[in-house]
């Protein structure tokens, strides 16, 4: 390749890397609509996108022609249009919570040095579907396919806090029969309500030296776009080297991981369902 070709190639690569600024600028309007989650007047929308109304309006006209935004006839407010909705639905149909969470769970295990488990609600209850081992030996009975006790584990309690109460009540009755008295743990209604309130308050579930002595855990929920829990991310480690404080580094790491996965599944913080 001669010098001219090299220069042209480098220039082309640089332009491609920079992207098209006008598209990026206009895209801020769509991001602002999505973040606000409601129809907005031009002036307010432009302010949210850090743009002058006169500059924002031409973008909105073009977006309306593509169906990315729509303008309400009665108020003049702008909202996401049918094309934006269709694109969102296609994306949601293609999303797989476990697939989305796996690289983040792996990174969480690598960064903390602790074990990380991904769990879903299966036919028999909260079930481990992926496990990343700690950098040190951690003696637990957890394996891929393990069904976790609802009352006795951080993972189980997490699902108890965010799934419908009727489902949890029925599952608790079956907990000991399914898992046996050595794994399952009994809990009365009042105690369960206290645990559930604590989990919802902190956004994580916690166990200390239970059910395995010397091992502590934080479990954090992953929600989908409708506010339903679809996955649990559990961080586990030796109690002596594991920060068990509700606001400590282990809890913060588990929550940050789950919130990022939830965001990728279309979740907005205000949409969590308590039933």
Which position has the higher pLDDT, 189 or 239? Answer: 239
pLDDT at 17: 60
Strand, helix or coil for residue 207? strand
Q: What is the pLDDT of residue 238?
A: 96
Whole-angstrom distance, CA of residue 121 vs CA of residue 111 = 27
Whole-number average pLDDT of the chain: 84
Quick one: pLDDT band at residue 9, thresholds 50, 70, 90?
very low
In this prediction the pTM is 0.68
Q: What is the pLDDT of residue 51?
A: 92
191 vs 187 pLDDT, higher one = 191
Which two three-digit tokens encode residue 49?
């996108």
| pLDDT tier at 254, thresholds 50, 70, 90 | very high
How far apart, in whole angstroms, are the C-alpha atoms of residue 31 and residue 154? 36
Q: What is the Cα–Cα distance from 122 to 185, expressed in whole angstroms?
A: 19
Find the mean pLDDT for residues 93-98. 77
Interval 115-146: pLDDT, tens: 999 999 987 789 999 999 999 988 888 889 88
**Can you tell me the distance from the alpha carbon of 265 to that of 240, in angstroms, rounded to the nearest whole number?**
35
**Dist CA 64 CA 82 (whole Å):** 10
């Amino acid at each position: 390749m001669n010098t001219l070709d090299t220069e042209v190639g480098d220039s082309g690569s640089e332009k491609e890397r920079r992207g098209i600024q006008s598209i990026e600028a206009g895209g801020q309007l769509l991001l602002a609509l999505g973040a606000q989650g409601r129809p907005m007047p031009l002036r307010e929308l432009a302010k949210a996108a850090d743009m002058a109304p006169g500059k924002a309006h031409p973008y909105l006209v073009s977006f309306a022609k593509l169906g990315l935004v729509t303008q309400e006839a009665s108020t003049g407010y702008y909202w996401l249009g049918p094309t934006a909705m269709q694109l969102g639905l296609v994306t949601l149909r293609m999303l797989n919570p476990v697939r989305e969470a796996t690289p983040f769970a792996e990174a969480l295990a690598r960064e903390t040095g602790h074990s990380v488990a991904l769990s879903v609600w299966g036919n028999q209850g909260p079930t481990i579907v992926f496990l990343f081992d700690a950098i040190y030996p951690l003696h637990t009975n957890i394996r891929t396919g393990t069904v976790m006790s609802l009352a006795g584990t951080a993972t189980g309690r997490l699902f108890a806090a965010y799934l419908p109460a009727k489902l949890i009540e029925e599952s608790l009755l079956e907990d000991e029969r399914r898992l046996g008295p050595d794994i399952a743990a009994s809990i009365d209604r009042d105690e369960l309500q206290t645990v559930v309130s604590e989990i919802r308050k902190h956004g994580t579930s916690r166990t200390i030296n239970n059910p395995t002595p010397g091992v502590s855990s934080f479990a954090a929920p992953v929600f989908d776009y409708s506010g339903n829990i679809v996955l649990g991310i559990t961080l586990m480690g030796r109690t002596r080297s594991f920060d068990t404080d509700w606001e400590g580094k282990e809890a913060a790491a588990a929550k940050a991981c789950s919130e990022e996965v939830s965001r990728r599944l279309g979740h907005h913080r205000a949409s969590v369902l308590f039933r």
